[in-house]
Amino acid sequence: MTPDQMKKAAAIEALKFVKPGMNIGLGTGSTANHFIEALAAKVKEGLDIRGVATSKASEELAEKLGIPLTKLHTNPHLDLTVDGADEFDPEFRLIKGGGGALLREKIVASSSRYMVVVADESKRVKKLGKFPLPVEILVFGSKATIWKVERAFKHLKLDAAINVRRTKDGELFLTENGNFILDCSIGAIPEPERLEALLNSIPGVVETGLFIGICGIVLMGTPKGVIEFKRG
């Protein structure tokens, strides 16, 4: 079974948490797309739900497949969000943002009663940090902000290599909010909560890809099937 097949199996398994009448946050990325496709099949069978997309790509896919959509400002309290993750650890802490939608993903997930992460087994780590940590920053004053972010890592004695994200064409990547993303290669993060608090205290930092205290359930696809982890 390929990693993509494992992700798809986990995404299909997430349908068991969906109930009629729910408002559901729809994540962004290849794993979330599997869930959106599976959800759309249920909608075609008569399931009554509303989706809230976390990106234009997810919105376009949901609309194409016939999933009714609503807006977060219309329904600010969601029942469920299903999304992927770049990493998750035993404490249900995540790194997200590889696709560049971390801010909207975090707003939607934190507005939900609970968040279900679907992933393949390669995303499971003992300590976060193998995947570069995305940090979304304002374009205005970006050089000053990057300098402050560098200082924050040094303060925590973390040796970080920071790169401003670019597109495949070499252009500076802009989020749908018009911001830059810093990809911070750190290695193992010993204190994710402390790092998140420090980074979020910097003027110019919009949000980090650390999702802490948000995810309640992980569905992990493996060659032998889907394993469910539930936060106590």
Write down the domain spans for the chain: 3-125+212-223, 133-205
pLDDT at 42: 98
Q: Torsion angle of alpha carbons 31, 33, 37, 40, nearest 10°?
A: 120
What are φ and ψ of residue 171, in 5° steps?
A: -80, 155
Q: In degrees rounded to 5, what are phi and psi of residue 114?
A: -155, 155
Asked whether the beta carbons of 185 and 213 are under 8 A apart, the reply is no
Tell me which residue of 189, 186, 183 sits closest to 136, measured CA to CA.
Answer: 183
- What pLDDT score does 215 carry? 98
What pLDDT is attached to residue 1? 86
CATH class, domain 3-125+212-223, is alpha beta
Residue 84: band (very low, low, confident or very high) from pLDDT cuts 50, 70, 90: very high
Residue 190 CB-density burial (10 A; 0-12 exposed, 13-18 middle, 19+ buried): middle
Q: What is the mean pLDDT of residues 193-212?
A: 98
**pTM to 2 decimal places:** 0.95
Q: What is the pLDDT of residues 146-191, one digit of tens each?
A: 999 999 999 999 999 999 999 999 999 999 999 999 999 999 999 9
Q: Which CATH architecture has domain 133-205?
A: 2-Layer Sandwich (3.30)
Integer Cα distance of 143 and 212 in angstroms: 27
Q: What is the mean pLDDT of residues 194-210?
A: 98
Mean pLDDT of 93-117: 97
Cβ(128)–Cβ(158) under 8 Å? no
Q: What is the pLDDT of residues 32-56, one digit of tens each?
A: 999 999 999 999 999 999 999 999 9
Is residue 232 over pLDDT 90?
no
Residues annotated as part of the active site? 105
Asked if 16 and 34 touch (Cβ cutoff 8 Å), the reply is no
pLDDT score of 161 = 97
How many angstroms separate the first and last alpha carbons of the chain? Answer: 30
**Mean residue pLDDT across the chain:** 97
